[in-house]
Amino acid sequence: MEFSFNLSPIDGLYTVLLCILIGIEVIRNVPAILHTPLMSGSNAISGIIIIGGILQLMQYDPAFDARTIISSIGVLIGTINVSGGFFVTHRMLKMFKPKKIK
């Protein structure tokens, strides 16, 4: 049995459709007090785009040229987005935790 990494276009559409439905359902129920952490969290995960840059860097011919540099900058900036976003979310959520009263 062959495991393929590729999607046929119709599979892709199914995925997108289901994701939209799940995404809307999940996010609609988030209370207002969590909107800011939700935003910065989703901001961080949109940095998943670095996977595209990683794929590019892995696929190219070994020659080190302008494209390599641009991809590298892309991955670097994307990683800053990801880690920064998660750290910010973490900082915010830490404040929401119930604290001991002194």
Partner 1 sequence: MALFGNFGYLFSTAFFALGMVYMGNPKRASKGNALLILGMITAVVSTLGFNASEGLDFNWNRLLLILALLIVGIVAGRKISFSFKITRMPELVSLFNGFGGLCAALIGWVSLFQTNVELSQSSQVILLLSLFMGFSTFSGSMIAFFKLGGKLKKAWRGNNAYMWLTLLLSGVTFLSSLQPNTFIDVKTSVLLLGLFSLSYGVFFANGVGGGDMPVLISVLNGLTGVLTTISGIYFENTIMILLGVFVGATGVILTIQMCKAMNKSFVKIFFNTAKKAIHIQGEAEELDIKETSSASIVADLTLAKKVAIVPGYGLAIAQAQKACYELKNLLNAYDTDVKFVIHPVAGRMPGHMNVLLAEANIPYADILDLDKGNEYLAESDLCFVIGANDVVNTSAETNENSPIYGMPIIQTYLAQKVVIIKRSLSNGYADIQNPVFGLENSSMYFTDAKVGLESIVTELKER
Which residues ranging from 60 to 99 are in contact with partner 1 (CB under 8 A)? 60-62, 67, 70-99
Sign of the alpha-carbon torsion through 67, 73, 77, 80: positive
Residue 10 or 61: the one with the smaller Cβ distance to partner 1 is: 61
Structure tokens belonging to residue 70: 């641009």
**Residue 5: φ, ψ to 5°:** -90, -15
Number of residues lying near partner 1 (CB under 8 A): 81
Minimum CB separation of residue 13 from partner 1 in Å reads: 10
Place of tokens 């999607």: 7
Q: Determine the Cα–Cα distance for residues 102 and 90; give it in Å rounded to an integer.
A: 23
Quick note: the x/- pattern for partner 1 over 26-55, rule CB under 8 A, is xxxxxxxxxxxxxxxxxxxxxxxxxxxxxx
Closest to partner 1 by CB, 10 vs 94, is 94
CB 55 within 8 A of CB 75: no
Residue 14 near partner 1 by CB under 8 A? no
Q: Which is nearer to partner 1, 10 or 31 (CB)?
A: 31
